[in-house]
Structure 1
C-alpha cells in the first residue's frame, strides 16, 4: 500500500513539474530574447575565400516550431508563415532546421511531429529568397527533414504523392538561383564551399529521411554519415529524460564545443543545444528550471569566460539552439 501511494505521489509530482515550467525561464541575454539581436549583414565583412567550415554560425533547432504547446514549441513566435524565420535571419541566424510533411498535391508543409506550424515550404523559401535578395552578402545553411513517421505523436504523409526528394526537386526548380546548385543535386554530394561561392544563396547541408538517414547524395559530402542523433561531426543527443539531466546535456554540448574549437578547421561541426522528453520540455532544457542551469545561459557564460577558467573557444561551429537570446547570438557571431 505504501509503495503504491509513493508511486502515485511520484506521478503527481512529475505531472506538476510538467505542467508548471518554473520561474527560472525568464528571458535574458542568452534565452528568449532573439529580437534584441540585429545582424542582417554580418557575413558581408568576411573574406570571400573563407571556408564555411571555418565559420561560427548561430542556428536554430526546429526553426519554425512555434505551435503545439510546451512540449512542441522550440522557438519564439514572431508570426506564422515566414514571420518567425525572417526574424531569425535578421537576428543573425545562419543555419536553419526545417521539418516537412508531404501533403496532397505534392506540396510540403512545416510540422513538428503531429503539429502543423502554420507555415508551408513555399513560405520558408519566400522568406529565404526575400532575405538573401536584400542581403546578398549572406548565405543560409539548411537542414531539411521529412518529418512524418506515421508513429504515435508524429504525422502521416498524404498517400498517392511523389517521393519526398522528387517533391523537393520540384520546389527547387520553381525557385531558380535560390539554392547553391551543387548542394541540391541528388547524384553527387558537394564539397564544402567558400563563402564567396555561396553568397546570396541557400546551401542545403543535408536532406534527411523520416528516421534521420541522408537521402541519396543531396547536400554536402561531409554529412553523408549524419544519421539520426550524433555522428562524427554532429552532436545531437536529443533525449533529456528529466530536468536533472540537463546538466548532462550541458556537458555534451561543452565537450563537443571544445572539440570543435580544437578540431580540423576544414571540417564542419554541428552542435545541438536542444533536447527534450516528457519530463524536460524544450524551454526547460534551453532556459533552465528548478535551480538547474539551462543550455543557453551556460553557453553564454562559457563563451565569455577567459583563459584563467578554461582554454578559450576560438570557433563554435554551428550551434543549433532552442529559444536563443540576442546576447548569445551576438557572441557566436563575434568569433568570426
Structure 2
C-alpha cells in the first residue's frame, strides 16, 4: 500500500495514540521464503530459454516498491542492500526480472525515487545505470519495469517540484539519453504487443507507466495493460489493502486464486500478481513474513508452488522475497 494512504488513514483514526496501540510485534524470522534474498544467485537464468518464448509464457520473480528500504516499518518493503541502486543490483543478481519504480519530479527535470514522502536515497539515473550495468554484463536477460509517478501532494505523500516539465516529457528525456537501454516499442507510445524473449534480450521493457493517482499514461508500455490503474485490473492482482493481521489470510487467498487463474489463463498475456499489502494495522513485513501466528504470504507461496499445481506463475511482485522462493519461481520455466 502506498505510504501516503497509510499515513492519511493514521491521521483519520487519531494519529500518535493509535500508533502506540497498534504497533505490532516483529514478523517471523527470516526463512527460505522471506528476507533471504542474498541466498539466491540467478544472474543468467533467462539465457538458456529459447528466443521464441513469449514473455507471457514465463514465470518471473519481481519486487513491489523495489527501492523502498527507508522510512520505517510501514514504508520499507525490501531488504536493504545499499543506497544509490545497490538494493536493485542485489535483486537483479538474485534473479528479479520485474521491478516497480516510484518517482518524484525533482528540480532540473529529473526523477528521484520515493515511497510516499520518504526519499529512498536513489535517483532515476541510479536505476538506469544499475540496469544498464547488469544487462551489459548479462545480455541474455531482460528486465520489465512498472514506473509510477509517486507524488500526489497530499498528507503523507510527496510533492513534485514546481516549474518542471511534465512526467512523460521528463521520462522521454531519460530515454533519449539512453536509447540503447530500452526496448523501443515499449517507450515509443505505440501500445506494444507482448514480445518474444529474443527481441528484448539486453533491454529494459516498460510494462506500464502510471500517474500519481493510478491512471495509465496512454500508449506507453504494453497494450494489454491499457486498464492497469490503482489496484487490480484485467491482468493484475493488486489488492494492497490488508486491514489487519488476520486479513493476511485473505491476501494469501487472493494471491493463490490469481496464481491459479494465471496458470490456466490466456497464454498470450502477462499476469502480474502483487503478493504484498499493508495498512495502519499490518506492516509490509508482517504481510510478507507473517506475525502473531498468522502465516505470511511469502512462506505460503513457497509451499503452494512446491505442490506442483501451478505451471505458469506469471510475474510475482514480492515484498522481502527469500532466496528459495525466487529459485522456485524461476524453476517453473
TM-score greater than 0.5 by the shorter chain: yes
Match of 2:320 in 1: 323
Q: Distance in 2 between matches of 1:219 and 1:280?
A: 32
Aligned to 1:74: 77
| Local SS of the residue matching 1:25 | coil
Q: Which residue of the partner structure matches residue 279 of structure 1?
A: 281
Output aligned runs, 1:151-170, within 5 Å: 151-170=154-173
**Residue 329 of structure 1: SS of its match in structure 2?**
helix
Question: In the alignment, which of 85, 90, 94 is matched to residue 91 of structure 1?
Answer: 94
Change (3 A) 1:285 1:174: same
* Distance in 2 (alpha carbons) for counterparts of 1:131 and 1:283: 28
Contact 2:211/2:217 (<8 A) preserved: yes
> How far off its partner does 1:25 sit?
2.0
Deviations 1:70-90 (A, max 9, x none): 000000000000100000000
Alignment partner for residue 264 of structure 1, among 263, 266, 269?
266
The offset of 1:272, in angstroms, is 0.3
Q: 1:198 aligns with which of 179, 197, 200?
A: 200
Change (3 A) 1:12 1:170: closer
Cα deviation digits, residues 271-325 of structure 1 (max 9, x gap): 000100010000000000000000000000111125xxxxx11000000010000
Q: Is the 8 A contact 1:14 1:279 kept in 2?
A: no
- Name 1:212's counterpart in structure 2: 214
CA distance in 1 between counterparts of 2:291 and 2:258 reads 23
Alignment pair present for 1:314 and 2:307: no
Residue equivalent to 1:19: 23
Q: What SS does the corresponding residue of 2:229 show, helix, strand or coil?
A: coil
Aligned counterparts of 2:16 and 2:166: Cα–Cα separation in 1: 45
Q: 2:9 matched to which residue of 1? A: none
Q: Answer whether contact 2:42 2:93 (CA < 8 A) is retained.
A: yes
Tell me the equivalent position of 2:180: 177
**Greater C-alpha Rg:** 1
Deviation at 1:15, TM superposition (A): 4.3
Once the two structures are superposed, what CA deviation does each residue of 1:62-110 show, in whole Å capped at 9, x if it has no partner?
0000000000000000000010000000000000000000011101000
Partner of 1:128: 131
Indicate the SS of the match to 1:333.
helix
Q: Name the counterpart of 2:107.
A: 104
> What is the DSSP-based 3-state SS (H/G/I as helix, E as strand, rest coil) of the residue aligned with 1:268?
coil
TM-score (norm 2): 0.94
Residues 12 and 138 from structure 1, CA distance in 2 versus in 1: closer, same or farther, beyond 3 angstroms?
closer
Distance 1:62 1:155 in 2: 15
133, 143, 149: which is aligned to 1:146? 149
Following the alignment from structure 1 to structure 2, what is the Cα–Cα distance between the partners of residues 333 and 69? 30
| Aligned CA-pair RMSD | 1.4
Q: 1:152 to 1:14 in 2, by over 3 A?
A: closer
- CA distance in 2 between counterparts of 1:147 and 1:25 reads 30
Q: How far apart are 1:212 and its partner, in Å?
A: 1.1
* TM-score, normalised relative to structure 1: 0.93
Gaps of 5+ in 1: 1-10, 307-311
